[in-house]
Amino acid sequence: MKGFAKYKQNIDSILENSYGDKDKFKSNLSVIMGAMKFSKPLREFFVLYNEIESKKFENTNSSRDYITEAVKHLKENKSGLKDVSSLLDKVIENRKELCVESTNIVYHNIDTMVFGGGVLNLEETIKSRNFLTESMVGEKKKPIVMEADSKILSQVISKKYQEEYGSSLNESERSILKNTLIMTEDTLGTEYDNVKGIALNTLNNMISESKDETLSARLTEVKNEILTLKKSKSSYIRVRGLLEDLN
């Protein structure tokens, strides 16, 4: 992978340009968050690119220290993006009408530092470090948002994963929560067995058809996790959310 900026910009663009259509936005958000659950490096890149773009410090010493540590972490984990790059390519290709060509100068400079290392690129790396260091100094602006803003939508996702699933629910799971809470025990039992069976069948088909050993292993882990879940409203929400991600 030559960089993450293009992926990040396309994800932001997909969210922003589908926001006006509730169903399409919900579907896109569910797919994107599903990809993040699949890949820890993807979650971390998404969060740190957002943080570097929006976080502010009082002085350049603090911002430079932050850049140093953030870039170090990204460099150490960039190889993990290879496992999810084909999935991201597919997500973006299927939604290319929502993607707008643009260049985010902050993301571009992060890419230079993370993916463009080496003696030959030393001068560009220094320029990017200086640019990012200066850009992170000052007061954080609080924009008045009249419509969907890709940065705001992106920050919502980042905050969610920074909290390490503090609520334990993703966006698609939240949409199911309201109706689940008023289910009777009898209804829950029937619905849970039904959705669990569909999810397991879907996973079995994906495992048998997959030619990617890494993907097959991850799908098997998900399947085994479902098998260990006890019947409850929380488990129902998780399996329903997973099923929407798979579909």
Mean pLDDT, residues 124-128: 92
Tell me the pLDDT band of 236, cut-offs 50, 70 and 90.
confident
Does 117 have pLDDT greater than 90?
A: no
Structure tokens at 157: 């996702």
Mean pLDDT, residues 114-131: 85
Tell me the pLDDT band of 101, cut-offs 50, 70 and 90.
confident
- What are φ and ψ of residue 95, in 5° steps? -130, 30
CB atoms inside a 10 Å sphere around CB 93: 10
- What are φ and ψ of residue 62, in 5° steps? -70, -45
Of 2-11, 70-79, 165-174, 212-221, the least confident: 165-174
Inter-residue contact 41 to 77 (CB < 8 Å) = yes
Helix H segments across 95-232?
105-115, 122-135, 150-162, 171-181, 185-209, 213-228
pLDDT given at position 31: 83
Report CA 164 to chain centroid distance, whole Å.
Answer: 12
Give the DSSP H/E element, type plus range, for residue 121.
none
Looking at the chain, the whole-number percentage of residues with pLDDT higher than 70 is 79
The predicted model scores a pTM of 0.59
Does 160 have pLDDT greater than 60?
A: no
Tell me the pLDDT band of 188, cut-offs 50, 70 and 90.
confident
Of 158-162, 206-210, 216-220, 242-246, the least confident: 158-162
Q: Which residue has the tokens 């399409």?
A: 24
Of 1-15, 19-33, 119-133, 135-149, the least confident: 135-149
- What are φ and ψ of residue 137, in 5° steps? -105, 135
**How far is residue 42's CA from residue 36's CA, in Å, rounded to a whole number?**
6
* 14 against 142, higher pLDDT: 14
Tell me the pLDDT band of 108, cut-offs 50, 70 and 90.
very high
User: Average pLDDT over the chain, rounded to whole?
Assistant: 80
Q: How many CA atoms lie within 13 A of 58 on its CB side?
A: 0
Looking at the chain, the whole-number percentage of residues with pLDDT higher than 90 is 29
Does 169 have pLDDT greater than 70?
A: no
Give the DSSP H/E element, type plus range, for residue 184.
none
Inter-residue contact 26 to 175 (CB < 8 Å) = yes
Report CA 32 to chain centroid distance, whole Å.
Answer: 6
Q: Please report, as a single letter, which amino acid is at residue 245.
A: D
Q: Which span out of 53-57, 89-93, 129-133, 239-243 was modeled with the highest average pLDDT?
A: 129-133
